[in-house]
């Protein structure tokens, strides 16, 4: 099967001279051998700073160096006349500098000097790939792009060609860490540590060629499953010894292992997964085992009561992560990173930024996003998430002109959207989300529309007019998706299990939580301190006060924070109910327009791409219609209030 080159398929360079040695310099040389050539008078040189004076622009490079240095990943690019030089302190910076030039070379028409350094140190992708396919989850949990690229038939794949292609893609957008197996680690998955370490070493070697550290997801109860221990108590000396020995065995074969990813007693499952004491004890046990090797524990803070009684309005899933982890702030080892979902629920198309991202003060934490589109269309519906992620990264955690999420986070992590489909992501256009994630992880201030132009120009051989039209179709697709799905931040109106398509009451009476509380009079969840769950009080002032008041709460989050009557008037003069009607009709109409605009340019794309995108757009239109009609009918039947525009609602 021919593998899609994604955004590395159309780029070209002239001849390049390399003044560097080492493993990553060899990787760059290998890259150059497979890069298409362009006839050009510009002479390009890549060098380490120790050899920069072998290049004609050494003075420009040295003058541009920041006082604090470039670090391991930073680089300088300088052009004067027909000379272009990329310089870095070490191999990873040089590799990123090479991909920078590859991305922009044909636009580098003037003289300039650029200094690039990543804003966030660890930029990771987590794979929810199962070593042994799970009866319910399959080969990849929440995977919408085929099977695993790492595992097949209970072991690591023999041919790592595809893995190497993936490592190239990740390095080209600045990703420097990958967790290869599902964080929802089940008993069979623990064999990854004990039975397949030589194969894990093979995977690590491929990623090492591109400066990417490999992480493993582990089950905290592994000692009970793989030995005669009767406990997973993190303070039990036997458990401590077991984990120390396990880490030693892993490092014997993967000496540069990045560390472990652990799902922290998620969903309060009973049995040995429930830690006897605190999350800090469990995380610190693993951290101390990894510390001699420089490893890090990413402790995933996805915790809540999954056995709720929908009759009980005092339990609020949104509160759970804060309530668990704020009391533990400062009790974690230095090599523990708390991995915090961007919102307090579960990767919805719209929810507020998690208060943990502003309130953790003495513990390192990572922002967690989701590239795989679990609740945002599953790579069937077009939903470009770059604008949403930038909003999150630039969110002011103080509400008063203070530090943003990007300023505060020490790492950024996302669940990958890649599988073994020929085009990697199922929907060809979903490649844009992988690209945008990597670029925003490197530079959280990057403009998402500019990133779309970058991705489209590098991915498709097309003229500027076609590229601009494609970008126009894609740029606002996240907001379109939001309009035709759950309204005003309410969330979770999805089909249980699959999480695709509408089911307004699908989770409303489940043990997983209650999310909209719609009745004949109104809709929304009261999370205020005054009369509700008190969730608004987890934010600092003035954010808490802003969310607490129905009049100052951002309207896109109104129903997340407040239960309001249907006739509550928004700032645009419409009632809440009319806003629900209007946005759902608007969302459907926008998908219809997207499809029409796509058909106008589809013939300019090669047949496989044209068929893939056209089929997905047709399916998205059907999905948008179901959302529109089911949501509008549901609220009409509850309220008895008609649409003021007299559009068709199925009574």
Tell me the two tokens of residue 462: 């097309």
Cα angle 439-261-323, degrees, rounded to a multiple of 5: 95
- Is the domain defined by 482-525+563-639 classed in CATH 3.90.1330.10? yes
Do strands 43-48 and 138-140 pair parallel, antiparallel, or not at all (unpaired)? unpaired
Tell me the two tokens of residue 406: 């990007």
pLDDT of residue 191: 66
Distance (Å, rounded) from C-alpha 255 to C-alpha 310? 49
Q: Phi and psi for 447 in degrees, rounded to 5?
A: -80, 120
**Residue whose tokens read 């990045």:** 258
Closest C-alpha to 274, from 237, 336, 232: 232
Helix/strand/coil for 582:
helix
Distance (Å, rounded) from C-alpha 436 to C-alpha 440? 6
Would you call the peptide bond into 542 cis, given omega within 30 degrees of 0 as the criterion? yes
**pTM of the full predicted structure?**
0.97
Distance (Å, rounded) from C-alpha 18 to C-alpha 88? 12
Tell me the two tokens of residue 568: 């509550």
**Residue whose tokens read 């507020």:** 352
Distance (Å, rounded) from C-alpha 440 to C-alpha 120? 10
Query: With contact defined as beta carbons under 8 Å apart, do 89 and 115 qualify?
Result: no
Which residues of the chain fall below pLDDT 50?
A: 267-276
Contacts of 76 by beta carbon, 8 Å cutoff, 6+ apart: 61, 64, 65, 70, 85, 86, 87, 88, 97, 113, 114, 115, 116
Query: With contact defined as beta carbons under 8 Å apart, do 259 and 335 qualify?
Result: yes
Indicate the helix (H) or strand (E) that contains 76.
strand 75-80
Is 346 designated active site? yes
pLDDT of residue 231: 86
Q: Exactly one of 225, 236, 267, 555 is catalytic; which is it?
A: 267
DSSP 291: G
Give the E-state strand segments of 311-438 in sequence order.
336-341, 365-370, 411-415
Query: With contact defined as beta carbons under 8 Å apart, do 261 and 213 qualify?
Result: no
Helix/strand/coil for 544:
helix
Query: With contact defined as beta carbons under 8 Å apart, do 439 and 151 qualify?
Result: no
Is 189 designated active site? no
Q: Exactly one of 233, 374, 420, 582 is catalytic; which is it?
A: 374
Is 443 designated active site? no
What CATH number was assigned to the domain covering residues 122-444?
3.20.20.80
DSSP 119: S
Q: Phi and psi for 456 in degrees, rounded to 5?
A: -65, -40
Say how many Å lie between the first and final Cα of the chain, rounded: 50
Give the E-state strand segments of 386-501 in sequence order.
411-415
pLDDT of residue 518: 97
**Residue whose tokens read 């860490």:** 177
Q: Exactly one of 4, 116, 189, 346 is catalytic; which is it?
A: 346
Residue 159 CB-half CA count within 13 A:
5
Tell me the two tokens of residue 233: 């108590």
Helix/strand/coil for 196:
coil
pLDDT of residue 184: 84
Tell me the two tokens of residue 613: 């995108």
Phi-psi category of residue 491: left, alpha or beta, with phi > 0 → left and psi -120 to 50 → alpha? left
Distance (Å, rounded) from C-alpha 382 to C-alpha 200? 34
Other C-beta atoms closer than 10 Å to the C-beta of 1 total 7
pLDDT of residue 88: 98
Tell me the two tokens of residue 348: 């919805």
Distance (Å, rounded) from C-alpha 125 to C-alpha 206? 16
Contacts of 136 by beta carbon, 8 Å cutoff, 6+ apart: none
pLDDT of residue 263: 87
pLDDT of residue 187: 53
355-366 burial: b if 16+ Cβ within 10 Å, else e:
bbbbebeebbbb
Distance (Å, rounded) from C-alpha 74 to C-alpha 88? 6
CATH architecture of 6-116: 2-Layer Sandwich (3.30)
Domain ranges (residues) in the chain: 6-116, 122-444, 482-525+563-639
Distance (Å, rounded) from C-alpha 169 to C-alpha 496? 34
Query: With contact defined as beta carbons under 8 Å apart, do 280 and 325 qualify?
Result: no
């Amino acid at each position: 099967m021919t593998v899609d080159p994604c955004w590395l398929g159309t780029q070209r360079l002239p001849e390049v001279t390399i003044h560097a040695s080492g493993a990553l310099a060899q990787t760059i040389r290998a890259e150059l051998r497979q890069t298409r050539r362009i006839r050009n008078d510009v002479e390009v040189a890549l060098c380490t700073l120790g050899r920069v004076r072998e290049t004609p622009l050494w003075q420009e490079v040295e003058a541009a160096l920041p006082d604090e240095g470039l670090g391991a990943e930073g680089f300088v690019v300088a052009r004067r006349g027909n000379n272009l030089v990329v310089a870095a302190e070490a191999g990873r910076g040089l590799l990123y500098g090479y991909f920078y030039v590859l991305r922009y070379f044909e636009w580098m028409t003037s003289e300039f000097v650029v200094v690039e350094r990543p804003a966030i140190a660890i930029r990771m992708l987590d794979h929810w790939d199962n070593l042994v396919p799970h009866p319910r989850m399959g080969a990849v949990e929440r995977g919408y792009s085929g099977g695993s690229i790492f595992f097949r038939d209970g072991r690591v794949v023999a041919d790592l060609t595809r893995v190497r292609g993936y490592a190239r893609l990740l390095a080209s957008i600045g990703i420097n860490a990958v967790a290869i197996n599902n964080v929802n680690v089940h008993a069979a998955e623990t064999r990854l540590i004990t039975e397949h370490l030589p194969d894990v070493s093979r995977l690590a070697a491929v990623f090492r060629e591109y400066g990417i550290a490999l992480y493993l997801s582990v089950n905290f109860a592994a000692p009970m499953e793989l030995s005669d221990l009767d406990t997973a108590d993190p303070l039990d000396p036997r458990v401590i010894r077991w984990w120390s020995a396990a880490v030693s065995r892993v490092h014997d074969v993967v000496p540069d292992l990045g560390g472990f990813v652990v799902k922290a007693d998620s969903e309060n499952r009973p049995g040995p997964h429930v830690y006897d004491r605190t999350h800090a004890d469990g995380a610190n046990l693993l951290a101390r085992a990894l510390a001699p090797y420089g490893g890090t524990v990413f402790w995933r803070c996805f915790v809540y009561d999954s056995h709720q009684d929908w009759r009980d309005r005092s339990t609020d899933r949104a509160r759970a992560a804060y309530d668990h982890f704020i009391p533990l702030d400062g009790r974690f080892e230095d090599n523990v990173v708390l991995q915090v979902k961007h919102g307090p629920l579960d990767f919805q198309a719209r929810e507020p930024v998690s208060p943990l991202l502003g309130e953790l003060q003495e513990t390192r934490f990572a922002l967690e996003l989701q590239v795989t589109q679990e609740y945002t269309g599953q790579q069937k519906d077009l939903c470009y998430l770059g604008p949403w992620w930038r909003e999150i990264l630039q969110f002011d955690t103080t509400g008063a002109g203070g530090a943003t999420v990007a300023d505060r986070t020490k790492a950024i992590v996302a669940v990958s959207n890649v599988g073994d489909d020929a085009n990697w992501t199922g929907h060809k256009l979903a490649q844009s989300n992988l690209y945008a994630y990597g670029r925003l992880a490197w530079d959280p201030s990057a403009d998402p529309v500019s990133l779309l132009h970058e991705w489209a120009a590098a991915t498709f051989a097309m003229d500027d007019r076609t590229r601009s039209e494609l970008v126009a179709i894609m740029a606002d697709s996240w907001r379109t998706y939001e309009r035709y799905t759950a309204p005003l931040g309410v969330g979770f109106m999805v089909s249980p299990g699959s999480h695709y398509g509408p089911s307004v009451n699908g989770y409303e009476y489940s043990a997983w939580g209650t999310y909209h509380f719609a009745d004949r009079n109104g809709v929304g969840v009261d999370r205020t301190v005054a009369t509700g769950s008190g969730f608004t009080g987890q934010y600092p002032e003035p954010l808490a006060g802003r969310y607490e008041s129905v009049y100052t709460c951002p309207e896109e989050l109104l129903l997340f924070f407040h239960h309001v009557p249907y006739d509550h008037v928004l700032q645009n003069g419409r009632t809440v109910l009319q806003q629900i009607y209007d946005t759902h009709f608007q969302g459907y109409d926008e998908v219809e327009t997207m499809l029409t605009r796509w058909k106008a340019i589809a013939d300019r794309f090669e047949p496989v791409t044209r068929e893939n995108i056209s089929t997905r757009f047709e399916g998205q239109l059907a999905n948008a219609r179901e959302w529109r009609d089911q949501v509008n009918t549901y609220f009409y039947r509850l309220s008895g209030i008609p649409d003021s525009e007299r559009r068709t609602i199925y009574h």
